[in-house]
Amino acid sequence: MQKGILLLKDGTVFKGIIHGKPHHSIGEVVFNTSMTGYQEILTDPSYAGQILTMTYPLIGNYGINHFDYESHGSVVKGFVVREMCSYPSNFRCDKTLDQFLEENNIVAIEGIDTRALTKILREKGSLNGAIIVGEPTESEIASYLKEIDEYTIKEPVYEVTVGEKETHVCDNTKCRVALYDFGFKRNILRSLVRRGCEVTVYPASTSAEEIIKTCPDGIMLSNGPGDPKDCKDIIENIKKLFQSGIPMFGICLGHQLTALAMGGDTAKLKYGHRGTNHPVKDLKHDRTYITSQNHGYAVLADSISPEIGEVSHININDDTVEGVRYNNGVFTVQFHPEASSGAMDTGYLFDDFVSLMVEKKGRSKKDAEE
Amino acid sequence: MPKNKDIKKVLVIGSGPIVIGQAAEFDYAGTQACRALKEEGLEVVLINSNPATIMTDDNIADHVYIEPLNTETVKKVVLKEKPDSVLPTLGGQTGLNLAMELAEEGFFEEHNVKLLGTNVDSIKRAEDRQAFKDTMESINQPCIASKVVHELQDALDFAEEIGYPVIVRPAYTLGGTGGGIAYNKEELTEIGTNGLRLSRVHEVLIEKCISGWKEIEFEVMRDSKGNVITICSMENIDPVGVHTGDSIVVAPCQTLADKEYQMLRSSALDIISSLKIEGGCNVQFALEPNSFEYAVIEVNPRLSRSSALASKATGYPIAKVATKIAIGYGLDEIVNAITKKTYACFEPTIDYCVIKFPRFPFDKFVKAKKTLGTQMKATGEVMAISNNFEEAILKAVRSMEIGTDHLEIKAHKSLSDQEIIEKINTCDDERIYAICEGLRREITSIEEIHKITQIDLFFLKKFEHIIEIEKQIQKNLTLEVYDTAKKYGFLDTVIERLSGKPLEFESKQGVYKIVDTCAAEFEAQTPYYYSTHDEVNESLRTNKKKILVLGSGPIRIGQGIEFDYCSVHCVWALKEEGYETIIANNNPETVSTDFDTSDKLYFEPLTKEDMANLIRVEQPDGAIVQFGGQTAIKLTKALTELGVKIIGTQLEDIDAAEDREKFDEILEQCNIPRPQGHTVFTTEEALNAAHELEYPVLVRPSYVLGGQGMEIAYCDDDIIEFMDIINIHTQEHPILVDKYMEGKEIEVDAICDGKDILIPGIMEHLERAGVHSGDSISVYPAQSLSDRIKNTIIDYTEKLAMALHVKGLVNIQFVVYKDEVYIIEVNPRSSRTIPYISKVTTVPMVDLATKVILGTPLKELGYGTGLYRESEYVCVKVPVFSFEKLHGVDASLGPEMKSTGEVLGIGKTLDEALYKGVVAAGINVKENGNVFISVRNSDKQEAVEIAELYQDLGYNIFATGKTANVLNHNFIAANVVKKIDDGENNVMDMMNENKFDLIINTPTKGRQPLRDGFKIRRKAVEHSIPCFTSLDTARAVAKTLEDKKRKKELSLIDITTLRK
């Protein structure tokens, strides 16, 4: 048993036991309130640069299996739990959580009063922090604090996007979708393929022209990590994609980037939304859905000009923007309709997207015939 | 959608008496519902036959009818009160069935009463087996291969088709009454016949047995807009096969990956959407452990025991929200009572582990069949919370008050390895302890146990972890080992016992964390705490004057919902007096554990060490123990040792009432006679005492509740048998042997301020002494006492209250024998009769007692002193039993309490009140028919008079040889019925053929299960034939039937008018 600490920017120290691959690691400390789905969460590329805390105290109960990855591995900077289960039980389990973390070079710390930590993050907002192996001295802590203070997450999208474009075929293709990848979760891809879409994943560095010239039936803007305002080139590309008239659907970072491209604004939330229990109201249909979320930034409601679109969804806990419907049919949501982990209640948005593409195709075909 | 403005007056139907399968959870739900309705400015009419509930208080509803729960009475209430709507989904299966019957009849429609919440059609589709199956098929939700049958032959044919074993589930019954698993044709014949009979619609479901699958429950809600949410998921540690009410349940699910979890969650939400539920709903699943295959087991379209658990486990007020949905609100319009910032439309997420443990009555029913199956047997439950599984389960175990503070039971220590293995193979209430004992002895492995029990390895590994810690403690108790043990929930006393020496370290105690529905994501306004071993304490002590009120733990026979009523009223009175109130309790079914009852709620085991920690943190100005039943009383010594001031009657005085020698001294001083008796420890001493006193004698342990282990002994063999049973548990206190006096039993509850007393009323038991007060029919005001006797009772009560320095409540039981008053026992605390006597006399006893305890003299409280004026109505409390759920239990009345609940009959005369009470208790005595009489020799002469009463009513009399002889000699025409061993067409055969409508049978002695009487009584229970085991009951009921014959119109009394 190797001792270690979690050190927060404000100097708070939590003592614990080190797991995974022991090394010092700095990141932005955030918390997720999901009770299941740690594997999906750990492999969600949107956590790049962050030290992830689970508020549910028993993590690792059902181990890790080779089906539930949301990307090839994990990019979190660290993992904080109250108790890590070393004897998982589930029919699909391949390995323990600890093994997975070690294989992915992730340091974890166990035995933390995660509730106390969460309250600090809730009150002070997401803070930088570090997992430090061993029992550092006062002076060591002081120097770590300096490093922690200076830490920023830099252009994380380019760290997690695919190296080159890749195409995923399906039987009986209804539509061809270009998935603009800022760190996509695999279930976005699966959700589209399952609905009869052939999906080509494009790296974040791809230009709008390159995508448009392939004449996709629709463009999917993926989720991803970091501050949307850092993605200046991508925003410019999205502007062009928007103007191309191709049906477009954005999730999470994709939603924020579209807003920025269309003249909207975003801001950092105090401590973000990370969990699977967020109530989102569809304003048009007056229905509230439970959604899965993972974001630190949000689109500002006032910044969406009626000339370009309207807020379609809000979070009923804090009234933040959860979705925008643009006048040209493009729609984007802040939450994760692909779920994984979390509630699958908003999967119908993928159906809407497919319908939009099919309809557009039909119209184009009719136009061509006429 | 906002509130429906057409709703102005709502009828709420309660769930009736506490029985196995329907306990205090519906008082919690009903009370929350009534309050939610009143909060909206609606007028609330309530009907419930259970007087021990908080919901039947006159401040909870505007009009309260403590009347029988049947269609006839509900109709009368509707005609009188003219409500515009009825809320049927908060009164358990009883309330729902009643509402459904009236809806189907068209009664509600005819009188313009709207059914709130889920509509009739939806309820039918969820409750009716075939309709449910069809609905599930239509939305592609898998069910288990099953078939609804109305005839036994169809059941047998279908079982052949799908193969044994099969599960039998009767439609529309509580807690799976009459159900079971049949492994072959013979068993199916027996269970199937029984199930068909018990079902209201003569219908059972025959179902493929899938025992061994994981049993998962989801508590879900839906509003009329179609918004759906999950409140809580729960995983039964015992796999499918054990009724969920009897299973150890953990929340949230522990062994499901997100994919399985979401699959079942989506299924649950699809189901309630398709059923168009409006309110709360419980969905039970079976999940094959090695695949994604699952099946929907059951849907409850109403609030249930599981919703109470889910509500307490998450902090989400399900009953309140369900009520608001029923009157039209959307989930997104109801403010979350915990955060006060967010809305009810979200899914609670928790950051701890919750364990529910069922509480079984087998400590009282030592001869009952203890194996667990599809029929529920638990009377109550406890819940425990911690940030780890091990601590949660250890906290749950010690909350149970079953004589153990750890995952072990003493009786297992003396068993052989082979016997332990056998116990692991037996699915009963003790299996979990046997599993731990097996692991402790290393005679088996978790893999082997998994094969036998199908309990998931995750849980078994947790048990093994607890055993590992035990072994470390035994080997070498270092500080590190101690810290680990504490973190995982070991008590210091357990650690000391294991290490064999006193603790060398400073005791390390837990911190308190808040239950807030949101895992700390939002700031919570709820003062709902649990202890766990972690770093930061969240319970901050205030500077207000504060008082700790101890609750009464799990519902069990002898300690029911009435003590929760008392605890809650005490808290309300304390609040009124300006104190900050703190409740410690562990029963998730109760009102006391609602987060808005007290200023601070601690969900904790009620043990010395757990309380020591609480006291360390809160430093209360005092503690009140007299309202929490024996559970709280037992902690008086511990609290006193911890330096807490006990407010109210003091420890030494509580002791004096229990300690035979001290009590005798007091009686001598006061010049009050009591039946002679002795204290003994051994069987030999008991025999000597009995010989000196002469048989019959009463034998009982001291410091017990509900007459636990109390019996009347008629001979030496009885003494030997009883002493053996009593000594199964180590007795810290002596055993009492008293002369048994067969007289009239009188009961009094009084309030004493040290100077004066107030007696709201004198109660008289219908059955003569010897039947436990909790099981006897109790009448207020006493009907047959002369003024001299009444004055003696008042005089004795006053003397005793003063001599015992009672401050607060005292309950005294007397026996009037040959026109002299003797004292039987004194309990310087609240009693079972407090709620009902408070309601019928309009003297708010707990309120007054609390104020007296705090120092206000009785004289200033406005209710006077001495005996309070008598009510113009007669009230009869009738006990209700759950014998049909408990095989092997003798259905006869005796000194040991057996009833699980009670109902009240209120009338203008004794006969009317008794008639209503008997009807409310579900005792269906026909106006005429065939009565079978078989009584013990000493009762034979008296039976003549009883038989005559029934003969006059038009009953045909049947009797066994000797009884028939005596009757015929006295000119009562009695048909002779053969005894069980006398060949064919004997009494049992005739009962099987439903020849008898009523049975009068007085037990000979003891509890020998082989005797005819025992078998007859059991058979009566199984065939739902009313059976009186006391001649007093038989006589009184006969008189009520005379009235009924005369077709007298029954009165309907709104108890809120009594005060005026």
Note the pLDDT tens digit of each residue in A195-239: 999 999 999 999 999 999 999 999 999 999 999 999 999 999 999
Tell me, yes or no, if A140 is annotated catalytic.
no
CATH class of B9-116: alpha beta
Residue B290 has its nearest CB partner, among A56, A91, A288, at A91
Q: Tell me the pLDDT tens digit for each residue of B1031-1042.
A: 999 999 998 888
Taking CB atoms and an 8 Å cutoff, what residues of chain A touch B347? 276-277, 290, 343
* pLDDT, position B240: 92
For chain A, state the CA radius of gyration.
Answer: 21
Contacts of A348 (CB under 8 A, 6+ apart): A337
Cβ distance B254 to A339 less than 8 Å, yes or no, reads: no
Same fold, B145-209 and B925-1045: no
pLDDT value, residue B323: 96
Give the contacts of B641 (CB within 8 A, at least 6 positions apart): B608
> Quick one: average pLDDT of A350-355?
97
Residues 118-137 of A with CB under 8 A from B: 118-119, 122
Per-residue pLDDT band at B247 (split at 50, 70, 90): very high
B171 touches B205 (CB < 8 A): yes
Instruction: Give the pLDDT mean for A40-63.
Output: 98
pLDDT at B1047 over 80: no
B585-604 mean pLDDT: 96
Mutate which: B263, B347, B460, vs A, most A CBs within 10 A? B347
- B947 pLDDT band, cuts 50/70/90, is very high
A90 Cβ under 8 Å from any chain B Cβ: yes
Distances (CA, A) of B828 to A276, B655, B699: 52, 9, 22
pLDDT for the residue numbered B444: 97
Give the CATH superfamily of B145-209.
ATP-grasp fold, A domain (3.30.1490.20)
Facing A91 at nearest CB: one of B291, B341, B346: B291
Q: B999 forms bridges with which residues in the sheet?
A: B932, B1027
| CATH class (in words) of the domain with range B676-702+711-740 | alpha beta
Two tokens, residue A139? 């002076």
- A89 to B262: CB separation less than 8 angstroms, yes or no: no
- A173 CB within 8 Å of a chain B CB: no
pLDDT value of position B197 = 86
Residue B1008 clears pLDDT 70, i.e. is over it: no
pLDDT at B706 over 60: no
Where along chain A do its domains lie? 2-152, 157-369
pLDDT of residue B793: 97
Q: Answer yes or no: is pLDDT of B42 > 90.
A: yes
Is residue B1006 predicted with pLDDT exceeding 60?
Answer: no
Q: How confident is the model at residue B624 (pLDDT cuts 50, 70, 90)?
A: very high
pLDDT confidence of B1060, banded at 50, 70, 90?
low
What is the arithmetic mean of pLDDT over B45-74?
95
The first and second tokens of residue B951, run together, are 């003969």
Mean pLDDT lowest among A107-111, B39-43, B161-165 = B161-165
B1059, pLDDT greater than 80: no
Give the mean pLDDT of B261-281: 96
Nearest 5°: phi and psi at A70? Answer: -100, -5
Q: How many angstroms away from the CA of B289 is the closest CA of chain A?
A: 7
- Band of the pLDDT at B730, cuts 50, 70, 90? low
List the domain boundaries for chain B.
9-116, 118-144+211-348, 145-209, 511-642, 648-672+744-766+787-830+839-869, 676-702+711-740, 925-1045
CATH placement of domain B511-642 = 3.40.50.20
Interface contact flag, A316 B536, Cβ < 8 Å? no
Residue B172's beta-bridge partner residues?
none
Which residue of chain A is at minimal alpha-carbon distance from B345? A279
Query: For the residues B714-731, what does the mean pLDDT come to?
Result: 79
Chain B contact present for A91, CB below 8 A: yes
The overall pTM is greater than 0.90? yes
Distance of CA B699 to the CA centre of its chain: 26
Angle at B785 between CA B780 and CA B791, to 5 degrees: 100
Amino acid at A61: N
pLDDT at site A338: 97
Q: Which residue from B minimizes the CA distance to A292?
A: B347
Calpha distance B913→B919 (Å, rounded): 10
pLDDT (average), residues B210-215: 90
How far apart, in whole angstroms, are the C-alpha atoms of residue B431 and residue B422?
A: 10
CATH architecture of the domain with range B925-1045: 3-Layer(aba) Sandwich (3.40)
pLDDT at B341: 79
* DSSP 8-state assignment for residue B978: B
Beta bridge partners of B814: B746, B823
CA distance B214 to B282: 16
Q: Topology of domain B118-144+211-348, per CATH?
A: D-amino Acid Aminotransferase; Chain A, domain 1 (3.30.470)
Strand order, beta sheet including B998-1001: B974-977, B956-960, B930-934, B998-1001, B1027-1028
Contacts of A57 in chain B (CB under 8 A): 351-353, 387-388
Bridge partners of B353, per DSSP, are: B386
Q: Average pLDDT, stretch B396-419? A: 95
Mean local confidence (pLDDT), B292-298? 93
Catalytic, out of A19, A197, A252, A322: A252
Q: In the CATH hierarchy, which fold is given to the domain comprising A157-369? A: Rossmann fold (3.40.50)
Catalytic residue check, A336: yes
Angle, to 10 degrees, between the axis of helix B417-425 and the axis of helix B431-441? 140
Under the banding of pLDDT at 50, 70 and 90, the label for residue B1010 is low
> Which residue do the tokens 């689970």 mark?
A54
Nearest CB neighbour to A89, from listed B255, B346, B522: B255
Q: What is the DSSP letter of B115?
A: E
Does residue B729 surpass a pLDDT of 80?
A: no
Q: Check residue B731 and give its pLDDT.
A: 64
CA atoms within 13 A on the CB side of B376: 24
**Whole-number pLDDT of residue B813:** 94
The proportion of chain B whose per-residue pLDDT surpasses 70, expressed as a percent, equals 97
Determine the residue type at B203.
E
Q: What is the Cα–Cα distance from B284 to B295, expressed in whole angstroms?
A: 9
pLDDT given for residue B704 in this prediction: 59
Give dist(CA A322, CA A299) in Å, integer: 8
For chain A, where are the alpha helices, taking DSSP H only? 38-42, 97-103, 114-124, 138-150, 156-160, 186-194, 208-213, 232-243, 253-261, 348-369
Among the partner-chain residues A31, A61, A287, the one whose CB lies closest to the CB of B225 is A287
**Is A246 in contact with A238 (CB distance < 8 Å)?**
no
Joined together, the tokens standing for residue B1046 give: 């005369």
A83 touches chain B (CB under 8 A): yes
Tens digit of each residue's pLDDT (9 = 90 or more) over A114-132:
999 999 999 999 899 999 9
Amino acid found at B694:
E
pLDDT value at residue B169 = 86
Say whether A252 is catalytic.
yes
- The CA-CA-CA angle for residues A51, A55, A60, to 5°, reads 80
Residue B1009 pLDDT greater than 60, yes or no: no
Predicted pLDDT at B1030: 92
Kindly state the average pLDDT of the residues B658-686.
Answer: 90
Q: What is the predicted pLDDT for the residue at A154?
A: 87
B861-909 per-position pLDDT tens digit? 999 999 999 999 999 999 999 998 888 888 888 888 999 999 999 999 9
**Whether domain B648-672+744-766+787-830+839-869 has CATH 3.30.470.20:** yes
- pLDDT for B144: 87
Task: Determine, for residues B262 and A343 on separate chains, whether the beta-carbon distance falls below 8 Å.
Answer: yes
Residue B13 has pLDDT above 60, yes or no: yes
Give chain B positions within 8 Å (CB) of A109. Answer: none
The number of beta carbons lying within 10 Å of the beta carbon of residue B525 is 15
Average pLDDT over residues B265-286: 96
Residues 6+ apart with CB under 8 A from B672: B796, B799, B800, B823
**Position B1 pLDDT exceeds 60:** no
Shortest CA gap B295–chain A (Å)? 18
Residue B941 has pLDDT above 60, yes or no: yes
Phi-psi region of B803 (alpha: psi -120 to 50; beta: other; left: phi over 0): alpha
Residue B974's pLDDT is 93
Calculate mean pLDDT across residues B351-363.
96
Could you confirm whether domain A2-152 is CATH 3.20.20.70?
no
Contact list, A58 vs chain B (CB under 8 Å): 254, 353, 388-389
Lowest mean pLDDT among A204-213, A311-320, B412-421, B989-998: B989-998
The mean predicted confidence, pLDDT, of chain A is 96
In A, which residues are within 8 Å of B538 by CB distance? Answer: 115
pLDDT at B1044: 75
Q: Determine, for residues B262 and A342 on separate chains, whether the beta-carbon distance falls below 8 Å.
A: yes
What is the percentage of chain A residues whose pLDDT exceeds 70? 100
**What is the rounded average pLDDT of the residues A62-73?**
96
- The answer to whether the CB of B365 falls within 8 A of the CB of B889 is yes
Task: Indicate the pLDDT class of residue B175, thresholds 50, 70 and 90.
Answer: low
Check pLDDT > 80 for residue B638: yes
Residue B847 pLDDT grade (very low, low, confident, very high; cuts 50, 70, 90): very high
CA-based nearest residue in chain A for residue B262:
A343
Torsion of CA B992, B998, B1004, B1009, to 10 degrees: 30
CA–CA min distance A78, chain B (Å)? 20
Q: Per-residue pLDDT averaged across B762-782, rounded?
A: 93
What is the structure's pLDDT at A245?
93
- Name the DSSP letter for residue A125: -
Is the per-residue pLDDT at B603 higher than 90? Answer: yes
Mean pLDDT, range B677-701, rounded to an integer? 89
Of A252, A200, A209, nearest to A231 by C-alpha is A252
* Interchain CB contacts (distance < 8 Å): A and B: 159
Shortest distance, CA B391 to any CA of chain A (angstroms): 13
Q: Do A290 and B230 touch (CB under 8 A)?
A: yes
Nearest to B352 among A57, A88, A286 (CB): A57
